[in-house]
């Protein structure tokens, strides 16, 4: 589980454990949150460990895979939910560093995860990779370029993996949340008026007229990762309250 300290990541890790998976959860800097989540999972009788990981560093990602194989013998489920919290604004107003940071974290990060985990999944007889993207890859949301642009690239890499690795028993899918109660949303409520208006507009344009709960998004991720979705690959499931329709 790459990226377990965010709202969706934590909910997904907990649900994977509840459904019977031994979970290795990564964090970049928020060790205390990751360790607390692992303690909670273990208290419920499940197995969970944590490990620091910078997904932009190939060796750091490889170390997570090596630890998983050493502890469990094989890998059957990979979830990519790592990402940055960033501000929203028109595309040309982002700085070079802001744009580069999300490209490195989201695009290069997912590439590194795929490079490290696909050989392990092949060796184990197959499995699944599920990537967290965004509903904005299907609906153009003004000022949301730093989310939609890199996640669109991740969605395409996911489709390539689904096509190329099907013969190896590997499925690849993606889940695109809409506006979620967690992550970037609390800071948006304390931001400038334009940002607050954008959040209100997103809720207004969502047919279900509310924010998603992290647990609702986690259900979609865990379903696609499970054997219940054994004939589903190369797909994008939008858990967005109808926002992209």
Per-residue pLDDT of the chain (245 residues; tens, 9 = 90+): 999 988 999 999 999 999 999 999 999 989 999 999 999 999 988 889 999 999 999 999 999 999 999 999 999 999 999 877 667 788 999 999 999 999 999 999 999 999 999 999 999 999 999 999 999 898 888 888 988 999 999 999 999 999 999 999 999 999 999 988 876 666 666 666 666 777 788 888 899 999 999 999 999 999 999 999 999 999 999 999 999 88
Q: Exposed/middle/buried for 168, CB within 10 Å: 0-12, 13-18, 19+?
A: middle
The reply to whether 156 falls in a domain is yes
Place of tokens 């395409």: 156
Identify the pLDDT of residue 63: 97
Cβ-proximal residues to 31 (8 Å cutoff; 6+ apart), any chain: 50, 52
Would strands 127-132 and 77-80 be described as parallel, antiparallel, or unpaired? parallel
In a domain, 62, yes or no: yes
Q: For residue 149, is it within any domain?
A: yes
The token pair at 150 is 């890199």
The answer to whether residue 203 sits within a structural domain is no
- pLDDT in the model for residue 143: 83
Is residue 234 assigned to a domain?
yes
- Structurally, the chain folds into a number of domains equal to 1
- Distance, CA of 1 to chain centre: 9
Tokens 């939008």, residue?
238
Q: Is 206 a domain residue?
A: no
Residue 195 lies in a domain: no
Look at the pTM and tell me if it is higher than 0.75: yes
CATH number (domain holding residue 107)? 3.40.50.720
State which residues form the domain around 70: 7-178+213-239
Q: SS3 helix, strand, coil % of the chain, rounded to 5? A: 55, 15, 30
């Amino acid at each position: 589980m790459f990226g377990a300290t965010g709202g969706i990541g934590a909910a997904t890790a907990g649900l994977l454990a509840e459904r019977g998976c031994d979970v290795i959860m990564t964090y970049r800097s928020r060790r205390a949150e990751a360790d607390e989540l692992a303690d909670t999972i273990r208290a419920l009788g499940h197995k969970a460990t944590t490990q620091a990981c910078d997904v932009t560093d190939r060796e750091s990602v490889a170390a997570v895979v090596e630890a998983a194989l050493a502890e469990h013998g094989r890998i059957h489920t990979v979830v990519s939910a790592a990402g940055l919290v960033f501000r929203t604004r028109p595309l040309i107003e982002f700085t070079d560093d802001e744009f580069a940071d999300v490209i490195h974290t989201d695009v290069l990060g997912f590439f590194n995860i795929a490079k490290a985990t696909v050989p392990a999944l092949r060796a184990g007889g197959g499995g699944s990779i599920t990537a967290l993207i965004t509903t904005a890859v299907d609906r153009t949301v003004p000022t949301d370029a730093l989310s939609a642009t890199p996640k669109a690239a991740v969605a395409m890499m996911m489709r390539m993996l689904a096509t190329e690795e099907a013969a190896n028993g590997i499925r690849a899918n993606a889940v695109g949340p809409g506006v979620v109660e967690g992550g970037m949303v609390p800071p948006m409520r304390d931001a400038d008026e334009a940002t607050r208006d954008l959040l209100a507009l997103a809720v207004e344009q969502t047919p279900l007229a509310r924010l998603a709960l992290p647990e609702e998004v986690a259900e979609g991720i865990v379903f696609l990762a499970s054997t219940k979705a054994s004939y589903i690959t190369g797909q994008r499931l939008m858990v967005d309250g109808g926002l992209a329709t």
